[in-house]
Amino acid sequence: MTSDHSETGTAMTEGENENEPIAALVAIDFTATELRLLLATPEQELIASERYELPQLADEEAWAWEVGGRVSTLFSRDAEPLYALAIGIACPGAVHPVRGVMTESRAQEGWDGLHVVDAIRRHIDAPAVALDRAQAALRGEMTFGAALDVTDALYLSVRESPPMAAILAAGTIVRGAHHRPGIIDPDDPAASIAAIAAVLDTARLILDAPDDEAEAFAARVAASLKASGASADVAVSELGDRAPMFGALEAASIVAYEGERDE
């Protein structure tokens, strides 16, 4: 396990309650083998960042105790008191956007039908939203990375098997009929994503690959784009494997805003 922690806040004036809880956005990103947690202020200043290895978790109950317990632990530490304002969860599989259920897992067996939102809310009762990691990564790039200044983009990650793509069209992330990201041909992902970019007339193609492969992969994609007649810019992800976490954080901030608006 590795961990990173920093504290932020404004100085209190005389008479203010030093024990008043601080609102925190919660971002959760998990794969078959790893869990990342991030707490940030509503202004998205870092409070805490943790990383854990995940064991085999056979069912929803085991997942809820492991992941929900880790989140609860962050809120019970000896530092400043915190409360959860909202929670965003990046999942390794297709997620139903209303029910918060991971319908198709790309990770551990037994995670199909995992009630991600309900399981987390049994530990932390706050507004929560779950989304596929590929779509979360694109949201992260829209907010903090390579898609900041465009409304039409394609995001492709070759870290997963098979490679996964997410689409930004007219400023909206496209979920698809079954709420899953695009599955790209693993034998020739460069040609596949270039063909999609040509059909959609995409402005920017954002590529996520291991650091030692990113430059060569970007060159192959650029050549495929030229051959397909697409005119998209090619950009390597600025966030790398942190993109899903930052996307989950942004999703949490949206849920927090919507919760305040509905009150």
For the chain, what are the domain ranges? Answer: 2-133+242-262, 146-237
Supply the pLDDT for residue 57: 95
CATH of 146-237, one of 3.40.50.300, 3.60.21.10, 3.30.70.270, 3.30.420.40: 3.30.420.40
The CATH architecture annotation of domain 2-133+242-262 reads 2-Layer Sandwich (3.30)
pLDDT of residue 116: 96
Say how far apart CA 105 and CA 88 lie, in whole Å.
18
pLDDT of residue 162: 86
Query: What digits encode the pLDDT tens for the residues 100-141?
Result: 999 999 999 889 999 999 999 998 989 999 999 999 999 999
Q: What is the pLDDT of residue 20?
A: 82
Identify the CA nearest to 146 among candidates 219, 45, 46, 247.
247
Low-confidence ranges of the chain (pLDDT < 70): 1-18, 78-79, 259-263
Judge whether 2-133+242-262 and 146-237 match in fold. Answer: yes
Count of CB atoms situated within 10 Å of the CB of 178? 9
- Please tell me the predicted confidence (pLDDT) of residue 18: 63
